[in-house]
Chains A and B, each alone.
Chain A
């Protein structure tokens, strides 16, 4: 979940 969230940053 955390990784999914983070990957929205450039």
Chain B
């Protein structure tokens, strides 16, 4: 474990908790893409199947349980509890256009052709594009609540920190995983446009609004 991975995990945790609190406190999921949240729940489910069979450390197990619990709680709140506030008209990104190609790619490009490994690879590829419906929704609505932009910033930052973690691990441990690195680069690049808007607008106290 190195400081970049630890801060990356904490940034990820902050993002997930921030979103959960936003929906819970405002009792509304306006501006939140349910499709992205369903894909994140799918990412954690397919990635943490070894939760009970492969114990790494208390930290690792606790974080996996928290990620799984929070992501399912978020999906539950969006599609059940606060369904009335779900903005389905703007959450129109075709998620199947992501899940199917990602599923196919996981079969073709992986480290080992075993169910667990293919599911892990699927979760890595899916996570890299899972935020697209959310970013797409923001372009449709032309704006985002400030709390939502903080959520997105923390979420984007987490994988950027993981990229530094992989550089660190390559340099000091000679460890690298090309699938995770390439997907991590794609994932972080997708946030660049948002990062620019976040830093130039939200951090200057302005609301994030896109030229509609």
Binding site for B on A (CB under 8 A): 2-3, 5-10
Instruction: Using known A-B contacts A3-B111, A3-B112, determine if residue A10 contacts B9 with beta carbons closer than 8 Å.
Output: yes
Q: How far is the CA of A3 from the CA of B50 in the complex (A)?
A: 13
Among residues of B, the one whose C-beta sits closest to the C-beta of A9 is B5
Instruction: Using known A-B contacts A2-B175, A3-B111, determine if residue A8 contacts B180 with beta carbons closer than 8 Å.
Output: no
Q: Which of A3, A7, A9, A10 has the most CB of B within 10 A?
A: A10
- Determine whether B60 belongs to the interface, using a CB cutoff of 8 Å to chain A: yes
Contact of B12 among A2, A3, A8, A10 (CB under 8 A): A10
Number of interface residues of B (CB under 8 A): 20
Among residues of A, the one whose C-beta sits closest to the C-beta of B158 is A10
Q: How far is the CA of A6 from the CA of B62 in the complex (A)?
A: 18
Q: Which residues from 45 to 71 on chain B have a C-beta closer than 8 Å to any C-beta of chain A?
A: 50, 54, 56-57, 60, 63-64, 67
Secondary structure type dominating chain B contacts: helix
Q: How far is the CA of A3 from the CA of B54 in the complex (A)?
A: 12
Q: How far is the CA of A10 from the CA of B47 in the complex (A)?
A: 8
Question: In the complex, which residues of chain B have a beta carbon less than 8 angstroms from the beta carbon of A6?
Answer: 175, 177, 180
Asked whether, in the complex, the Cβ of B56 is within 8 Å of the Cβ of A8, the reply is yes
Closest 7 CB pairs of A and B: A8-B56, A6-B177, A10-B63, A5-B175, A10-B9, A7-B54, A3-B111
Among residues of A, the one whose C-beta sits closest to the C-beta of B57 is A8
**Min C-beta distance of A10 to chain B, whole Å:** 5
Q: How far is the CA of A8 from the CA of B117 in the complex (A)?
A: 14
Question: In the complex, which residues of chain A have a beta carbon less than 8 angstroms from the beta carbon of B50?
Answer: 7
Question: In the complex, which residues of chain B have a beta carbon less than 8 angstroms from the beta carbon of A8?
Answer: 56-57, 60
Asked whether, in the complex, the Cβ of A9 is within 8 Å of the Cβ of B180, the reply is yes
Q: How far is the CA of A10 from the CA of B165 in the complex (A)?
A: 12
